[in-house]
Amino acid sequence: MVCVRTGRALPSLDRSSRYRQGMCCDRTPSLAEGQGVPPSWLHSAGPIVFRPASGRTQVLVPSAVPDPRDLGTAAAAAAPTGRFAARTAGMTASEIRALFAVASRPEVVSLAGGMPNLAALPLDALASEVGELVAAEGQTALQYGSAQGTPALREQICEVMRLEGINADPSDVVVTVGSQMALDLITRIYCDPGDVVLAEGPSYVGALGSFAAYQARVVHIEMDAHGLVPSLLRSALESLARQGITPKFLYTIPNFHNPAGVTLAVERRPEILEICASYGVAVVEDNPYGLLGFSGTIYPALRSLDRDVVYLGSFSKTFASGLRVGWALVPPAVRDRLVLAAESATLCPPTFNQMIVSRYLQTQDWQSQIKTFTEAYRERRDAMLSALETYLPPGCSWNVPDGGFYVWLTVPEGVDTKAMLPRAVTARVAYASGTGFYADGYGSRQLRLSFCYPTPERITEGVRRLAGVLTAELDVMRTFGVPTRAASLKPGPGAPSPDTA
């Protein structure tokens, strides 16, 4: 017999005994130690199985994971974690992710996630379209495709972007697996470790996760009720210039911001572009919510004002998030590199999903469908604003979004929304704490509330529960005079997930 871990011969065993093929033996430390197998392997491994092989019997230890301390210095360095790239240090899971597993239970009202409400979709019609697609074009739909995306969908994407004043060439569109992939690829081709990226404060947690993964340093620019503040952008660029630093790009969500819910004032948009151009800074515009305004206003995209803007779009919020179809509209000088990066990442975006989106845009009244979505979201927003006004204690403030999915809430001084989250989940309500939307640990007094998915009745109940938790936190502070801080938790964003999308 040979041990599959050491390759050494083991004493023979009687095959007529309980060590027959497929059966288990007891762990035998003396036997293991005699063959150089560390005892800790046996404790972590489960049963040792003996199976015949070429006249000999092998010892198999399924699922055993050696402790690097048993392997010596050289072997320990070769353990999986010792081989990770340095950039993986920036890939951290959020401390609150485990709480969201609990928050997904039906008795918990989740005001945390950014999942669109798909109940209004014409599912029966879509089912027929998918069936017809497979029957008529299955050999194409189920095959590999172009790394840049199908030509038909790229043309249709240009039609969608015309609603925001963008005149684009389909050859400059790159279809991606959701706009998150587009953002990740843009960061990959722009940023080296240590490069600076500008982003609004707060900013989308998925963007911050990508920036951290590529070891970029984020400098936040504050917003007010009208979005990114031009004077603060200029001041930040002046300060960086004095240090000899030119940021690689400004990442911005101008319309119905995630998580802040604000919209960049139209009169500020040309100024933002002019400031960035004067300092040689590219602009990356992320616009998943641009068509989801409650007043019917469609704001001009930054890309409509400057053809050098990198524009990211998605069908996740306006059609179906599960299809994971997004895109990047890029200048020709960027396109070829982006296509190569996309090809190395996924070979090609799923042809089947792209063709489903194409059929939907071709056969369904998708603009009326977007209006149906926005009516549902407006009703939910109104329910949330009414509940906040009714239930929240004094000292809280929030924005009034005119579109999108989110309300950004600021709580009284001394309350830490990250520390409060476990108690909120215990009270059967969940939210996204503000620190996850900053790269520097700021945002402990803020939280994001999502109104896109729950019913108005559930939203009202969720806010009522949240108000009870917040009132209890304030009572503790008044009694003991101690802020409810989460000092042991690491600052900054965790890895993105649907809970924080």
For residue range 468-490, list pLDDT tens digits in order. Answer: 999 999 999 988 876 655 444 44
pLDDT at 4: 33
pLDDT at 45: 38
Instruction: Please state, in angstroms and rounded to a whole number, the distance separating the CA atoms of residues 369 and 390.
Output: 32
Going from the C-alpha of 404 to that of each of 256, 288, 450, the distances in angstroms are 5, 9, 9
Q: Is the CB of residue 499 less than 8 Å from the CB of residue 100?
A: yes
CATH class of 123-363: alpha beta
Q: Is the CB of residue 321 less than 8 Å from the CB of residue 242?
A: no
Prediction pTM value: 0.82
Structure tokens at 63: 């699922």
Q: Is the CB of residue 210 less than 8 Å from the CB of residue 90?
A: no
For tokens 């008044």, name the residue.
Answer: 478
Residues of the chain whose pLDDT is less than 50?
1-8, 10-66, 68, 71, 486-491
Instruction: Please state, in angstroms and rounded to a whole number, the distance separating the CA atoms of residues 463 and 466.
Output: 5
For tokens 């469609």, name the residue.
Answer: 298
pLDDT at 113: 87
* Tens of pLDDT, residues 63-119: 444 454 554 555 555 567 778 888 887 777 655 566 667 777 889 999 998 999 999
Q: Is the CB of residue 331 less than 8 Å from the CB of residue 175?
A: no
CATH class of 89-118+368-477: alpha beta
- Contacts of residue 14, defined as CB under 8 A and 6 or more positions apart, other chains included, come to none
Domain ranges of the chain: 89-118+368-477, 123-363
Structure tokens at 85: 């790239």
For tokens 């890309």, name the residue.
Answer: 303
pLDDT at 29: 41
Q: Is the CB of residue 27 less than 8 Å from the CB of residue 59?
A: no
